[in-house]
Amino acid sequence: MPTNNRTQNPIGVFDSGLGGLTVVKEIIRHLPFEQIVYFGDTARVPYGTKSAETIIRYAREIVGALLKYKVKMVVVACNTASSLALDVLKKEFDLPVLGVIEPGARKAAAVTRNKKVGVIATSSTVKSGRYADKITACDKKIAVTSMACPLFVPLVEEGWFAHEVTYRIAREYLKGMKKKKIDTLILGCTHYPLLKGVLHDVMGPRVQLVDSAREVALEVKEMLATSGLLRASSSRGRQRFIVTDEPKQFERLASRFLGEGIKDVRRHIYV
Amino acid sequence: MPTNNRTQNPIGVFDSGLGGLTVVKEIIRHLPFEQIVYFGDTARVPYGTKSAETIIRYAREIVGALLKYKVKMVVVACNTASSLALDVLKKEFDLPVLGVIEPGARKAAAVTRNKKVGVIATSSTVKSGRYADKITACDKKIAVTSMACPLFVPLVEEGWFAHEVTYRIAREYLKGMKKKKIDTLILGCTHYPLLKGVLHDVMGPRVQLVDSAREVALEVKEMLATSGLLRASSSRGRQRFIVTDEPKQFERLASRFLGEGIKDVRRHIYV
């Protein structure tokens, strides 16, 4: 094996906080031999209520930090950052950058039968209109209904995954979706897969929930394969975790998203 | 009037976002001739779930920024920053710095009859234990019950001030307070005064709600008076507003907290 082999370099994954770990989980499942460096911007979380200009600035800083780990590609595992900053990152950085919007939009366009797709996401993601753009780019006949659900993230962080209040709030937010008779609902925020039970109950069994984490992992695999960057190894890849706030809280909550515990989270001060 | 008269300088007020405007409102009411520079750290809001180390770093940066406006004193109009950073700020900066914890704690200690006081606040404020410390410093016999209410801030920001869901969540959070038969409840976060209606209904008419904004304004007045820094003027003071994220959203929501509209909010990039 030649030295300085880029295939051995890690995949960089970032999110505003913990949610992106749902994407890491799928990457590990589909690409167990890859190394991963995860960056969670916990000192500035959440992104979903902030402006495009601010999110672009944060995303740029984070990709800069990930480059120090010699990442071979970057996955923007945050819907808000994908909606607002992906184009800028692709233009400014000379490495493959993948967001979570397109894979989710494509999947939804593929599975809808009645051409009525719903998107739930943060305020900033909904305001960006990126999901609707990408879905109609797949199929102009699809009607997209979007709804910002700002209370879902705090409910997940409070751990109220199946609380009566969560059901009540979900019924309120999803009223319009039900009325429009959507048959496919995109979970447009990496926190929302933890509310799948509630969302499934509220929307009913005929509505398919699209969680883009799996699609993103498959696209990472394809991108690495086509650019000859898949890691050749017989040993499982290592994951490293970097956060901007105190690591302890991140370690404590990570298993909710990752499905397994982590430790040795490092802290990055971004100034 | 001598030039360079410090009395003419503004009062600096800061918060993680919008909540501190409830304090500005009271300062304007009690000190209409004072100039105010308000700094809202909207690009990094909220503070209530972040670590002491991070909050101290942010608070230090913000006081540094306020000093450029030649503020004659600083009011930390954020319970989390007051709990975690006040001592550091007092030590490091050579000007009067006032937080919101002590005024609220003193007021609660003065009004309780049965010596049972409740505190509702963010997770970081509750974890700091500062309210309990300050209340028992006033009267060792007072029993303090604290409860973190992380969903209250997003509910206020969603505008659900009297929503059925807000009642349901308040009943859940305040269950323990009712059981302990507190007669005084400190609203330990500058967002909570907007939920006064719900909190009053849930706790009942015999529980007094303590909102420290008024007490803080009165203490600002006293501090300025005793240090000879009250502004001598017959014209009303001017308020300036600085935020770290995009100003438009701040302008749009400010009236909820301030009771009047504002414009010409400036942006500060903190790097």
Closest CB from A54, A245, A249 relative to B245 = A54
**Neighbour count for residue A230 (Cβ, 10 Å):** 17
Positive or negative, the CA dihedral B255, B258, B264, B270 is: negative
Chain A residues touching B50 at Cβ < 8 A: 42-43, 245-246
Closest CB from B43, B44, B150 relative to A157 = B150
Q: Which residue of A has its CA nearest to B158?
A: A150
Domain pair B11-99+214-267 / B101-212, same fold: yes
Closest CB from B151, B164, B246 relative to A54 = B246
Q: Which residue of A has its CA nearest to B170?
A: A165
Chain B residues touching A44 at Cβ < 8 A: 43-44
Bond prior to B96 in cis (omega within 30° of 0) = no
**Does any CB of chain B come closer than 8 Å to the CB of residue A227?**
no
The pLDDT, as a whole number, for residue A270 is 67
Reading chain A (271 residues) residue by residue, the pLDDT tens digits are 444 589 999 999 999 999 999 999 999 999 999 999 999 999 999 999 999 999 999 999 999 999 999 999 999 999 999 999 999 999 999 999 999 999 999 999 999 999 999 999 999 999 999 999 999 999 999 999 999 999 999 999 899 999 999 999 999 999 999 999 999 999 999 999 999 999 999 999 999 999 989 999 999 999 999 999 999 998 999 999 999 999 998 999 898 899 888 988 999 876 5
**Neighbour count for residue A74 (Cβ, 10 Å):** 26
Closest CB from A49, A154, A271 relative to B150 = A154
Helix (H) or strand (E) holding B39: strand B36-40
Q: For A236, list phi and psi in degrees, rounded to 5.
A: -60, 145
Which residues, 6+ apart, have CB-to-CB distance to A72 below 8 Å? A6, A7, A9, A10, A11, A95, A96, A224, A229
Pick the CATH number of B101-212 from 1.20.1530.20, 3.20.20.100, 3.40.50.1860, 3.40.50.300: 3.40.50.1860
The domain ranges of chain B are: 11-99+214-267, 101-212
> Per the CB < 8 Å rule, is A151 touching B150?
no
Separation between Cα atoms, residue A44 and residue A50, nearest integer Å: 10
| Amino acid identity at B139 | D
pTM, full prediction: 0.93
What is the average pLDDT across B224-231? 95
**Neighbour count for residue B97 (Cβ, 10 Å):** 23
The pLDDT, as a whole number, for residue B17 is 94
Separation between Cα atoms, residue B2 and residue A271, nearest integer Å: 41
Separation between Cα atoms, residue A166 and residue A147, nearest integer Å: 16
For Cα atoms B177, B82, B126, give the angle at the middle one, nearest 5 degrees: 30
Chain A residues touching B249 at Cβ < 8 A: 49, 51
> Per the CB < 8 Å rule, is B44 touching A43?
yes
Taking only residues 25 to 84 of chain B, the set having a beta carbon closer than 8 angstroms to any beta carbon of chain A reads 42-45, 49-51, 53-54
Contact B100, B59 (CB under 8 A): no
Q: pLDDT digits over B23-69, tens only? A: 999 999 999 999 999 999 999 999 999 999 999 999 999 999 999 99
Separation between Cα atoms, residue B83 and residue B155, nearest integer Å: 23
How large is the ipTM? 0.91
Which residues, 6+ apart, have CB-to-CB distance to B67 below 8 Å? B12, B93, B95
Taking only residues 133 to 152 of chain B, the set having a beta carbon closer than 8 angstroms to any beta carbon of chain A reads 150-151
> Per the CB < 8 Å rule, is A168 touching B172?
no
Under the banding of pLDDT at 50, 70 and 90, the label for residue B2 is very low
CATH node for B11-99+214-267: 3.40.50.1860
Chain A residues touching B168 at Cβ < 8 A: 164-165, 168
Bond prior to A46 in cis (omega within 30° of 0) = yes
